Amino acid sequence: MNGSLARALALGRAHASLSVTASPADVAEALDGRLLGCGRVEEVARYGVQQAFGRGNLCVVDAESRAVIRIETENEYLMAMVDGEPVVSTPDLVCVLDRRTLQPIAVDTIRTGDEVLVLALPGPEWWRHDERLGHVGPRAFGLTCDPLLLEAS
Amino acid sequence: MTGLAPTLAAMLASPGWRDVVVLGGAQEPGPELVGSRVLMDVAGHPSAMAGELLVVLLASDHTDWRIDALISRASAAGAAAVLFAGVEPLGRGAQLLADRLQLPVLGSPDPLAAHEYLNSVTAEPDVVRAALVLKAVTALRRTEAGLESVLSTTSAVLDRPVTLAGSDGGTLAGEPLEGSERADLVAALPAVPVAWAAPYRVDLPSGAVLIAVSVLGAGPACWLVARLPGVVPAEVAAVPAVLTVVAPAVGQRLALRRLELERDARQRTSLLGELLHGEPSEATRRRAVDLGWQLDGWHTGIRIGADGQVDVAGRRTDVVEAFDAEGLQAVVVEQGDGWSAWITAFSEPTANEVQEQAAAIRRVQRRLVQTVDAYVGVGRVQPGPSGIATTLAEAGDAAGLARGRPETGRFLHVDRLGLAQLLLAWTRTDTFQPAARALLAPIEGQPGDLVTTLTVYLDTESSLAETAAVLGIHRNTVSARITKIQQLLAVDLTNPNERLALHLACRTTRD
């Protein structure tokens, strides 16, 4: 896929140059993403191994607006809902960063009580093609929901 | 239609929603539910609503993300609450969301039943009422004879506690009311119920409602009361109809119970009447044994009089209970406007025992005074079957005296001191003399020396001929004077109590 590596490097550099005191909005802007919320992880539910690996969900309450953010997971973050309304899904990226260190937290290490930033970053343009979208959209992961994509930036 | 909308809290307390639980977004008392709409499963999109309950028939996993999504959509559509199939707890996110959107989320193992019940109480109150009344009529036909079973049947039909309360709110049968609710009920009810009066509705500060229907039967008025924990308008309209159907059945059970009570009372009274007329016959003794009366031994007679309108037969149980509470094994018989009772001992009681017994009887009186305006006389200990008559006669006289003596707590014990001496001693007191003069004042100074005539008449046991002989006047003159005395004093000389009072008064004023 053309440009993947370049994008990864650019993102890595932007992330590395962030100061730990940067505000959530600054972080979202620097990483060219959308801020979904910032607050405490209220619950992490893992469904166990009967279903797909890492399947579960977590719920974050935004410290400021008290909005309830729910993220469906399966090894990666698949879909995010704000106040019960799905807002972003694969193939776009949902990222969870530690509030203090701004380090990304993976699905298998996130815990109840973590203070986090929830960001959405646009996924690769290539997957947005109608023919490929079916393979990476939420339905491919068992979530009966149409893909919800950020505006291409 | 909004007038029929119950609050969520009232619905949760209603019989048709017994198995509905709150899963999240709890509120007190919650929104009003104007109706119910069904959605097949959690993926559905509700159409716009105005305060209805959204019932979701299929919701297998309460932690699924679609539950959160549906809560959000229901809130946006204007639902008053959401009810999901199943009672498993929601995920934390859904609970937080329900709280945030202030949307109560309910669960039920049978969502369709909950939907139909809500729809019937909001849209078809007449059907609810008719169904309850029919159910009550059918159940009553199968119920047993007892009063308790009528109340428990009614309670089961309504699925609410049902009480039979006296006019003071006291429980006669069924589940008792709480103290404060009792006070509110009594305050709202009229003292004398009217046959055609509509059922009463009492709204309590707690939000609960009492529905009261008067039961008219033999004896004092009472009320059939149902307690509803919340206002479901259809139920509040239906319960009075059910109670109105049940009330005559309760009245009939009460009348039967009363009949039994009166029959027993009459049996006791007539047997006592026979005992008071001399030595009892074999048949009388047998009947006494049947009633558990001990005729031999030493008897202490007790007379309990009651002022005012007292249901002597109905209150006998209270008297028996008061004696039992003081550890006295007394036979209690309804007689006139009070009760005659006696306590039997196998051997002659010592002076000390007599004193202790008198003290115990006094405590009995104190118990009774709380509900009955009672005055008590106690006779001396007398042996044998005929002793019952003697000691009761003494007790009766003592009670007559006790009635006018609040300074002794309206209690008088004729102990070793004879009754005559007691009376005499009492007539010399400063309290009695002015009273005696006042009593005779209307005939004082009237032509024909009425005071002397009355004194002689009473001394000669109300004999006109004897009085005429003693005073040396014609019998007709005596008769005319006595009639005049009765008119002036407005007394009935055939009444033993009034005669006794006049007799004493005459003694005092003449000395």
**Do the chains contact at A66 and B100, CB–CB below 8 Å?**
yes
pLDDT of residue A118: 92
Number of domains in chain B: 4
| Packing angle of the helix pair B312-325, B233-276 (nearest 10 deg) | 80
Q: Of the candidates B54, B88, B123, which is a domain's last residue?
A: B123
Residue B115 sits in the same domain as residue B138:
no
pLDDT of residue A71: 92
- The model's pLDDT over A96-150, given as tens digits with 9 standing for 90+, comes to 988 888 888 988 888 888 899 999 988 888 888 888 888 888 888 888 888 888 8
Q: Residue B103's closest CA among B88, B118, B83?
A: B83
Within-domain flag for B273: no
Q: Which residues have C-beta within 8 Å of that of residue B84, sequence separation ≥ 6?
A: B23, B42, B56, B59, B62, B67, B105, B106, B107, B108, B111
B73 contacts chain A (CB < 8 A): yes
Helices and strands (DSSP H and E) totals, chain A: 3, 7
Within-domain flag for B306: yes
Distance in Å, alpha carbon of B238 to nearest chain A alpha carbon: 41
Residue B93 sits in the same domain as residue B207:
no
Q: Of the candidates B123, B141, B159, which is a domain's last residue?
A: B123
Within-domain flag for B77: yes
Within-domain flag for B263: no
pLDDT of residue B422: 63
Within-domain flag for B427: no
Look up the CATH number of the domain holding residue B300: 3.30.70.270
Task: Note the helical H segments in chain A.
Answer: 4-16, 24-30, 130-136
Q: Which domain holds residue B59?
A: 2-123
pLDDT of residue B424: 63
Q: Sign of the C-alpha dihedral, residues B145, B149, B150, B151? A: positive
* Digitized pLDDT (tens) for each residue of chain B, 511 residues in all: 446 788 888 888 888 888 888 888 887 778 888 888 888 888 888 888 888 888 988 888 888 888 888 999 898 888 889 999 888 888 888 888 888 888 899 999 998 988 988 888 888 888 888 988 999 999 888 877 788 888 888 888 888 888 888 777 777 777 777 777 888 887 877 766 666 667 888 888 888 888 888 887 656 678 888 888 888 888 888 888 898 888 888 888 888 888 888 888 888 888 888 888 877 788 888 888 888 888 888 888 899 988 877 788 878 888 888 888 888 888 888 888 888 888 888 888 887 888 888 888 888 888 888 878 888 888 888 888 888 888 888 888 888 877 776 666 788 787 655 555 566 666 666 777 778 888 888 888 788 788 888 888 887 778 888 888 888 889 999 899 988 888 888 888 888 888 888 888 887 776 5
Cis peptide before B442, with omega less than 30 degrees from 0?
no
Chain A residues with CB under 8 Å of B72 CB are 81, 83-85
For B427, how many CA atoms within 13 A lie in the half-sphere containing its CB? 20
pLDDT of residue B407: 64
B44 contacts chain A (CB < 8 A): no
Residue B248 sits in the same domain as residue B187:
yes
Query: At A70, is the pLDDT very low, low, confident or very high (cuts 50, 70, 90)?
Result: very high
Distance CA B240, CA B90 (A): 39
Residue B90 sits in the same domain as residue B210:
no
Chain A residues with CB under 8 Å of B66 CB are 144
How many C-beta atoms lie closer than 10 Å to residue B193's C-beta? 18
Q: Of the candidates B354, B387, B418, which is a domain's last residue?
A: B418
Q: Which residues have C-beta within 8 Å of that of residue B14, sequence separation ≥ 6?
A: B6, B117, B121, B230, B232, B235
Within-domain flag for B425: no
Within-domain flag for B268: no
**Do the chains contact at B92 and A143, CB–CB below 8 Å?**
no
Distance CA A131, CA A139 (A): 14
B2 contacts chain A (CB < 8 A): no
Residue B144 sits in the same domain as residue B233:
yes
B393 contacts chain A (CB < 8 A): no
Residue B47 sits in the same domain as residue B65:
yes
- All domains of chain A in start order, with CATH: 4-141 (2.40.390.10)
B71 contacts chain A (CB < 8 A): yes
Residue B412 sits in the same domain as residue B290:
yes
Within-domain flag for B269: no
pLDDT of residue A153: 43
**Do the chains contact at B65 and A143, CB–CB below 8 Å?**
yes
Residue B112 sits in the same domain as residue B90:
yes
Residue B222 sits in the same domain as residue B156:
yes
Residue B357 sits in the same domain as residue B410:
yes
A59 contacts chain B (CB < 8 A): yes
Residue B296 sits in the same domain as residue B373:
yes
Residue B444 sits in the same domain as residue B412:
no
Its ipTM equals: 0.87
pLDDT of residue B182: 80
Chain B residues with CB under 8 Å of A36 CB are none
